[in-house]
A and B are shown apart, each in its own frame.
Chain A
Amino acid sequence: MKNHVRRECLAALVATALGVCAMQANAGVDSPFCFFPAGGQDLSIRNAGPYIYILKIDDDFIAQNPTIVFDSVSSEEVVYPSEGSGCGYTQRTERQMGPYHAADADGIFDYLVTFYSFFYRGYPPSNPRCARTSENRWELTNEPPTRVDGLPSDPVLDAVWHGSTPVCAARLNGPTLGVESARIVAGKYRPIQIKLTRPEHGVAEQRVSVELMPTGPQRGYLTCNPRTDSQGSLQCGYWAPSIPTVDRIRAVWHHENKDRQAAEGTITVTPPSVVVGFFNGVWNTEEQAQDGLQAIEVLVGPNHGTTELRYEKFYNQTGNANGNTALQDIAEVFIQRGHELDGVLVSRWEVYWELLSGPVRQEGSLTQRLLSGLQAGGTALSNLIDALTSSALAGFIKGLAQFMSQPPTAADTEAPLAKLRDLADEGNDFVLVAHSQGNLFVNLAYDGLRGYNQKVKTAVVHVAPASPTLRGAHVLADIDAVINGLRNFGSWTVPNINIWLTGWGGDPSGHTFAGTYLDGAREARTALNAATTSPRAHLKQMMIDALEQVAPQSP
């Protein structure tokens, strides 16, 4: 009898462990899960003492769970048989053993485990009110339990002997399932990836089930491959409904009934939109590029008819092959010549930035305020600033010519192209605006987008293009000293002049985006007998034309 009680205790412990596992199997990545090695293949017993076993887990599982840690949750249950009334009771004590880390190279877990398989309640069977069927998840591989003297046989030892052993394990950082939230324009299709990854790479050929849970009156349509690819990605496609909404995606990874993990993400379905991307001009700072994009937003507005416009800045300098040598040349000249006239400029780099960005001769600029406040010597300083302006202009031309001879490479456009692809995946169409050297980048971006997805509509507006080839309409002013200066610099060809401006305004280069091409105060003509316009009005019309190409509003 004592032995039987002991066996029942053993049974109760495993049952407890099973119960714990069953509860925790639905939890997240760091939660314990159940591990059920089957039929002696996954589990081999090195030492079959009553309570001490050394387990070996199959190598594949270990390979996918390199940092697995095993816990054993054990409990002791002492059964007190009924006396007279026919109903006994149970006293249970639980204890935790482990965790035991999979530290050795052979996948051997030196694993002290005290486990039990069955627990039975209910004594004696003559009292049906107390009779309970035992909870038995033990996988016996030979004979089933038999009853002896009203009590079960010893299924524990049988089962253990045949190596079917449930244990609990806690995974610390095994594969992680991730569903990235995504945006998609209404009525469009986009690919969606669900990733099953370990810290360094994905887990291939895993079955992941995916469910779409709509939250609005209309839902999208989702299809997914049944298994992850060689990179651990589950490839899915989502067709958005025709109205904005939010859909939720729930993905569940089942690992051979051993592990289960779920992840959720959302798909936000947005109204139709066009991305207006801006590629900045020669040696703009990021702030100047931002200013250019903001000016475009002011010019065009937040919408084109019913289409939302999203403004994106693609900031570039002169490419990896060129570094900033030409810009440094200009700075060097500023430093050297700044020592002239008692060195009054060498400590005033604000003048340098105005030289570079164009407003050095603009009414109200810092430089103009400096000059206007001087009496004697003012002319000499003015002449010095003129000389520096000439040097800067020459530097622009020289640098651009050098840049055109060593144009940006795929590596230079890798990051912006990746962003454009993401935006294309969201279902956006594009109007790309480029100024000066930005035209060299925009050509690569346009070609890259076309190569990626030909269904994406893209129009390009080239402003003062420092590029021999174009992908859309362009505007080049007759007074643009930088681009027209390129004609005299080697054999580079630039597009034809197609707008003639009256006067110089405050931009001595005739080249800056805001100072010349967004100038609304100057008259301009696009042909000899054409009606007068302004550079700003002309550029606005070009933008509207481009938007009509990709998101027509006119009937």
Chain B
Amino acid sequence: MKNMQTTSTRSVPILLRATGCLALALALTLSACGGSGGGGGAIFGGGSGSNAGAAAGTGTGAGATAPTLAEQIAALEQSGGYPQLDRSADIAGPDADGNGVRDDVDQWISTQPLSDSQRKALTQKARSLQNTLLVSLDDKAALQSAGEGLAASSRCGMLQFPEYSDFSKLAGKIEAMTANTRQRAERYMQYNAARSGSSTTNPRGNTCEG
């Protein structure tokens, strides 16, 4: 696995640097690939693109009983090797305890080897991110408040983690997990577009909730 990672991380930048026209070529390829999906979501095209290559991807060469890629991922999620996330069409998703964080994200946070105060800081970050999916895009005050919530939770993370970069990496994962379906991603993009042009002051003092 490590070898694969090394190969992958080096390959793209080297290609981009080595050949002057490759960026252009990639961009042209991107143009050719994108935007032809037809109708669909408000932000994206149809999303009914070609499945070409699927067969090649699933081929395992291990015989008829070898699990498919999807089955492997499902098993990985079951084993805790990968977070088991809610992938329903509902933007909010399940929040049985009503703490403003999706239950699956709550569950993931609870498994992190952290102190209570650090978990609370992550939960605050998750809540502030979940709020960006639910806030009214027509309500400027609420949008600003959502942005301030992001700022407050980042400061809380800074206060609770000896290395801010450790918090930052975990917060990045929570962001990715929060907007983990097409519907949620689309809504998240709409939120960010609505926030363009905004300014927010980093708060001072202890911004940790509860």
A288 and B177 alpha carbons, distance in the complex (Å): 14
A285 and B192 contact, CB distance less than 8 A: yes
Q: For B79, give the chain A residue with the smallest CB separation.
A: A373
In the complex the two chains form, is A374's CB within 8 Å of B172's CB? no
Q: Tell me the chain A residues, 303-348 only, with Cβ under 8 Å from chain B.
A: 310-317, 324, 327-333, 335-337, 339-344, 346-348
The answer on a CB contact under 8 Å between A412 and B9 is no
Determine if B114 is an interface residue (Cβ-Cβ < 8 Å): no
* C-alpha spacing A363/B166, complex, angstroms: 12
A295 is an interface residue with CB less than 8 A from chain B: yes
> Taking the complex as formed, is A133 at the interface, i.e. its CB lies under 8 A from any CB of chain B?
no
Contacts of B204 in A (CB 8 A): 302
Given A287-B150, A290-B150, A394-B27, A328 contacting B193 (CB threshold 8 A): no
A residues less than 8 Å from B73 (CB atoms): 344, 370, 373-374
A357 located at the interface, meaning its Cβ lies under 8 Å from any Cβ of chain B in the complex: yes
A376 touches which of B62, B176, B191, B193 (Cβ 8 Å): B62
Give the docked Cα–Cα distance between A126 and B3 (Å): 119
Of chain A, the residue at the smallest CB distance from B153 is A290
A74 to chain B, nearest CB (A): 46
Q: A371 to B62: give the CA distance in the assembly, Å.
A: 18
Within 8 A of A (CB), among B46-84: 47, 49-54, 56-62, 66-70, 72-73, 76, 79, 81-83
Q: Report chain B residues within 8 Å CB of A328.
A: 34-35, 43-45
Contact, CB under 8 Å: B12 / A393: yes
Known interface pairs A324-B189, A504-B10; A488-B20 also in contact (CB < 8 Å): yes
Are B164 and A369 within 8 A (Cβ)?
A: no
The residues in B between 13 and 36 inclusive whose CB is less than 8 angstroms from any CB of A are 13, 15-17, 20-27, 29-31, 33-36
Residues of chain A within 8 A (CB-CB) of B184 are: 349
**A175 sits at the interface (CB 8 A):** no
Asked whether A163 is an interface residue with its Cβ less than 8 Å from the other chain, the reply is no
Known: A361-B8, A416-B197, A506-B9. A333 touches B57 (CB 8 A): no
> Which residues of A lie under 8 Å from residue B176 when comparing CB positions?
349-354, 357, 366
A363 to B176, CA, bound (A): 16
Least CB distance, A14 to chain B, in whole angstroms: 49
Question: Shortest Cβ distance from A391 into chain B, in angstroms?
Answer: 5
Q: Interface of chain A, helix or strand or loop or mixed?
A: helix
Is the beta-carbon distance between A324 and B43 smaller than 8 angstroms?
Answer: yes
| Nearest chain A CB to B47 CB, angstrom units | 4
Cβ of A397 under 8 Å from chain B: yes
Chain A min CB distance to B102 (Å): 13
Tell me the complex Cα distance, A324–B132, Å.
Answer: 18
A379 with B4, Cβ < 8 A, contacts A315-B195, A317-B196 known: yes
Instruction: From A19-27, A380-388, A522-530, give the one contacting chain B.
Output: A380-388
Let me know if B181 is at the binding interface, CB within 8 A: yes
B11 is an interface residue with CB less than 8 A from chain A: yes
Contact call B158/A311, Cβ cutoff below 8 A = no
Contact of A327 among B171, B189, B198 (CB under 8 A): B189
Report yes or no: A365 in contact with B4, Cβ–Cβ below 8 A. Answer: no
Rounded to whole angstroms, the CA-CA distance of A219 and B175 in the bound complex is: 48
Is residue B119 within 8 Å, beta carbon to beta carbon, of the partner chain?
no
A291 to B177, CA, bound (A): 17
Most buried by A among B29, B30, B47, B193: B30
B57 touches which one: A315, A316, A380, A401 (CB < 8 A)? A380
> Do A371 and B4 have beta carbons less than 8 Å apart?
yes
A60-68, A242-250, A507-515 - the one binding chain B = A507-515
Q: Do most interface residues of chain B lie in helix, strand or loop, or is the interface mixed?
A: helix
Q: Which of A286, A339, A341, A363 contacts B132 (CB 8 A)?
A: A286
With a CB–CB cut-off of 8 A, which chain B residues contact A382? 4, 8
A457 within 8 A of B: no
Interface centre among A290, A346, A361, A368, by most B CB within 10 Å? A290
A52, CB-defined interface residue at 8 Å: no
Report the separation of the CA atoms of residues A352 and B181 in the bound assembly, to the nearest whole angstrom.
Answer: 10
Contact string against B for A residues 469-487, beta-carbon threshold 8 Å, 1 for contact and 0 otherwise: 0000000000101001101
CB distance from B172 to the nearest CB of A (A): 6
Contacts of A509 in B (CB 8 A): 12-13
Interface centre among A337, A344, A506 (most CB of B within 10 A): A344
A429 CB to closest chain B CB, in angstroms? 16
Verify if B206 is at the interface (C-beta below 8 Å from A).
Answer: no
Query: Are A394 and B76 in contact, with the CB atoms below 8 A?
Result: no
Does A434 belong to the interface (CB within 8 Å)? no
Cβ of A258 within 8 Å of any chain B Cβ, yes or no, is: no
Whether A286 touches B147, Cβ cut-off 8 Å, given contacts A312-B200, A342-B69, A369-B81, is yes
Sample of 10 A–B contacts (CB below 8 Å): A313-B200, A328-B43, A340-B57, A349-B176, A376-B62, A385-B8, A401-B27, A415-B197, A488-B20, A514-B165
- Interface set of A (CB-CB < 8 Å, partner B): 285-288, 290-291, 293-295, 297-298, 302, 310-317, 324, 327-333, 335-337, 339-344, 346-354, 357, 359, 361-366, 368-382, 384-386, 389-391, 393-395, 397-398, 401, 412, 414-416, 419, 479, 481, 484-485, 487-489, 504, 506, 508-510, 514
| A-binding residues in B (CB < 8 A) | 1, 4-5, 8-13, 15-17, 20-27, 29-31, 33-37, 43-45, 47, 49-54, 56-62, 66-70, 72-73, 76, 79, 81-83, 85, 87, 129, 132, 147, 150-151, 154-155, 157-158, 164-165, 168-169, 171-173, 175-177, 179-182, 184-185, 188-189, 191-193, 195-202, 204
Known: A341-B58, A357-B172. 8 other contacts (CB 8 A): A287-B132, A295-B168, A339-B54, A342-B70, A376-B72, A378-B4, A393-B26, A504-B13
